[in-house]
Amino acid sequence: MTKKLLNEQIKLLEDLTSEQFSESKVIENLKAELNRFQAIAGFSRVINSSSSFMTVERMAMEKLKKLLNCEHVLVFRVDRETHELYSSKNCSKEEFRFKIDDHSLPGSSAFHVASLHVSSLHDDLRFRRFPFLKEEGKAKDALFTPMAVDGDVLGVLVALNSKRGEGFDDDDVELLELLGSQLSVSFHNEKLYADMKEQFYQICEALVDAIGIRDSYTGGHTKRVERYSRAIGRELNLSKAEMDELRLAALLHDIGKIGIEDRILKKEAPLDHDEFLIMQQHPRMGHEILAHIDGLKNVTDGMRFHHERPDGKGYPYGLKRDEIPLLARIISVADTYDAMVSNRPYRKGLSPMTAFNEIYRCMNTQFDEAVAKAFIRFFKKTSWYVEEEDLYLEEELVKKAS
């Protein structure tokens, strides 16, 4: 409980025992206290909800504005690479950055791991030197509190422009510190999750590198397929969760080749019929390696089905159209494009535009139409695209005209 809340409780008891006791005043104060406690409880529920971190942050900022009765709440997070504070996307479309030092107000709060109460921003040199409001003329007073866990500063929480005539007071500072400490835990957990996820990606990349030691083509090919897949995913406006799964599935799509004999994997000539039948099993083998890991079904399905085709002529299961998961359809296009443009010991790679035209030609048969069109949109933004060599440009223009 904050000092302000405690003082208000004591005042209520004094009112109850005073000769000037007014029942209506006590009821009014009790209602105000109840509203305050409900708002704090609501803030805690937001922090502990299962929503995405950006949603939690946005909702927490709205709750804080009501609790502190102020115009703005800003969140600055620490960039671990640059050791700077940067404004959250929930705060402003324009990004503000500050070094963690005494030259700016957010930086000073983080540097000293201490709260700041500035009653007049325009009288403070740190604000005049590094303002953090686009309409800085409207800035009046502010509170700053660092968000830290075990001494590790994760960000700074800022409350701006109290709506009360007397401005912010010490009890507001205490309340912001209390709520900021709760938000710090959420920040810390999000950071731990992000670190663990990145470590998992690094383990996956190490697995890819292990294959690369056996077969240099597969190692480089896998990383290129991952880049192309993510480019297609962005064109399809996949969610962040879908993009994360796509990244993993693309990285691991050829992991099953770990089970293919060297005489086949490293063969410097086209595979014969029997060898190709063995190679066709690598998607199934990859799935068997990772299928037991909880929470990776979409990823493993993306791996397992990336050689399937809409016309049912793919392998190893002969799936058709919507039977093939979206991630697999994306990887199929990225994988085939890279295979076409890559040099092999027994053939020279095709030019990027030749491969581009082949992707277009095989739309709806070998490749999903929506995914192929997303690849085409991505490709046309690159330096590889040559309009004069686009065999299907006229066809596209006719379709648009009709």
HEC readout, 31-78: HHHHHHHHHHHHHHHHHCCCCCHHHHHHHHHHHHHHHHCEEEEEEEEE
| Residue 217: C-alpha distances to residues 78, 229, 295, 355 (Å) | 39, 18, 30, 18
Q: Structural domain of residue 179, as residue ranges?
A: 3-192
End position of a domain, from candidates 177, 192, 207: 192
Task: Report residue 18's pLDDT band, with 50, 70 and 90 as the boundaries.
Answer: low
User: Rounded to whole angstroms, how far apart are CA atoms 271 and 351?
Assistant: 23
In a domain, 198, yes or no: no
Same domain, 76 and 23: yes
Q: Is 118 a member of any domain?
A: yes
Residues 253, 182 share a domain: no
**173 — phi, psi (to 5°)?**
-60, -45
- 167 and 289 in a single domain? The answer is no
Q: Is-contact 347 293, C-beta < 8 A?
A: no
For residues 114 and 59, membership in a common domain is answered with yes
Same domain, 160 and 48: yes
Mean pLDDT of 82-109: 82
pLDDT at 90 over 80: no
Q: How confident is the model at residue 203 (pLDDT cuts 50, 70, 90)?
A: confident
Pick from 150, 157, 198: nearest CA to 175: 157
The whole-number average pLDDT for the span 233-249 is: 93
| Cis before 316 (ω within 30) | yes
To 5 degrees, how large is the angle CA 309–CA 314–CA 319?
Answer: 65
CATH label of the domain that carries residue 117:
3.30.450.40
Residue 209 in any domain: the answer is no
Q: How many domains does the chain have?
A: 2
Q: How far is CA 311 from CA 174, 238, 272, 334, 336, in A?
A: 65, 24, 24, 18, 16
pLDDT at position 19 is 47
Asked if residue 215 has pLDDT above 90, the reply is: no
Of the candidates 157, 192, 227, which is a domain's last residue?
192
Residue 81, both tokens: 């690479």
Which DSSP helix (H) or strand (E) runs through 144? strand 142-149
Same domain? 152 vs 270: no
The answer to whether residue 20 sits within a structural domain is yes
204 within some domain: no
Contacts of 112 (CB under 8 A, 6+ apart): none
Residue 123 maps to a domain: yes
The letter for the amino acid at 392 is Y
Output the CA–CA distances (angstroms, integers) from residue 131 to 69, 126, 168, 268, 382, in the order listed. 22, 8, 20, 63, 38
173, 293: one domain: no
Same domain for 244 and 171, yes or no, is no
Distances (CA, A) of 164 to 69, 70, 126, 167, 168: 7, 8, 24, 5, 8
**Highest-scoring range by mean pLDDT, 86-100, 123-137, 301-315:** 301-315
Higher pLDDT, 317 or 5: 317
Q: Is residue 316 part of a domain?
A: yes
- Could you give the 3-state DSSP secondary structure of residue 274? helix
Question: Measured between alpha carbons, how far is residue 226 from residues 199, 243, 290, 350 in Å?
Answer: 17, 11, 18, 20
Looking at every residue in the chain, the average pLDDT score rounds to 82
- Please check whether residues 223 and 153 belong to one and the same domain: no
User: Quick check: 49 pLDDT over 60?
Assistant: no
92 pLDDT above the threshold of 90:
no
Claim to verify: residue 181 and residue 278 sit in the same structural domain: no
Residues 242, 127 within the same domain: no
More confident residue, 39 or 169: 169
Residue 210 domain flag: no
What is the reported pLDDT for 133?
A: 67
Express each pLDDT in 61-77 by its tens digit: 777 888 888 888 888 98
State the sign of the Cα–Cα–Cα–Cα dihedral 48, 54, 55, 60.
positive
CA distances from 67 to 36, 72, 119, 231, 335 (A): 7, 12, 19, 43, 53
Q: What is the sign, positive or negative, of the torsion defined by CA atoms of 132, 135, 137, 142?
A: negative
Identify the CATH number of the domain in which residue 308 sits.
1.10.3210.10
177 and 241 both lie in a single domain: no
pLDDT band, very low/low/confident/very high, at 53 (cuts 50, 70, 90) = low
Which tokens in the block code for residue 47? Answer: 């922090």
Judge whether residue 374 has pLDDT over 90. yes
